Amino acid sequence: MHTDIAEILFDEAQLECIVNSLAERINKDYSGKTLEIIGILKGSVVFLADLIRKLEIDCTLDFITASSYGAKTVSSGKVRLDANMLPDLKNKHILLVEDILDTGSTLAGIKNIVYGKGAFSAAVCTLFNKPSRRKKPIKAEYVGTDIPDKFVVGYGLDYNDRYRNLPYVGVLKPEIYTGINKIKE
């Protein structure tokens, strides 16, 4: 285990189990349809890479960039979105893929953009959900699992862009973002 991690919340086998059950539901719900998958950069990439390889439906893959945390452990609430890479979404079924749904600010902004581009539907698939922190009325159709309000990293989730490469999801030691062991920003 990485020395900056206090405890592992989900190991590789547990994550695989969660991904498999999400993929199973998506395969069933979108059977016979074409799904436009939109990954929300950067946190979703590891989860997304595993999820799409379990999908058997007809699908395409695009990305949108969103950023709200900066070098902090809580969302700033101000979301910067870059949708330049998105294609025409008119009448398409969209699945927005997130690593974590926290205040809901990111997804609220992205849903506006996606519906503004004429999407027929825009469902949300998130690996983790922190319902206790919600500020916007966003609900995810596909939730891997609810988690407590702890700062988690790994499997794509970061602190200050670090730890995305950890194959498990763990709680970051508080001294990493406060005090003398704080990593450089």
Residue numbers annotated as active site: 102
From 6-14, 23-31, 47-55, 102-110, span contacting ligand PRP (CB under 6 A): 102-110
Cα–Cα distance, 107 to 90 (Å, whole number) = 19
Residues 6+ apart with CB under 8 A from 66: 40, 41, 79, 80, 81, 82, 106, 109, 110
Contacting residue, 95, 96, 102, 169, with ligand PRP by CB under 6 A: 102
Size of site (CB under 6 A) for ligand PRP: 20
Token pair recorded at residue 85: 């890479």
158 near ligand PRP, rule: CB under 6 A = yes
The residues facing 157 across adjacent strands are: 154
Q: Which of residues 23-62 bind ligand PRP (CB under 6 A)?
A: 40-43
Chosen residue from 47, 98, 128, 176 binding ligand PRP by CB under 6 A: 98
Cα-to-chain-centroid distance, residue 155: 10
Instruction: Specify the length of the chain in residues.
Output: 185
Within 103-122, the residues that bind ligand PRP by CB under 6 A are 103-106
Q: Across the strands, what pairs with 154?
A: 157
CB 33, min distance to ligand PRP, A: 25
Please report, as ranges, the residues that interact with ligand PRP according to CB under 6 A: 40-43, 66-69, 75, 79, 98-106, 158
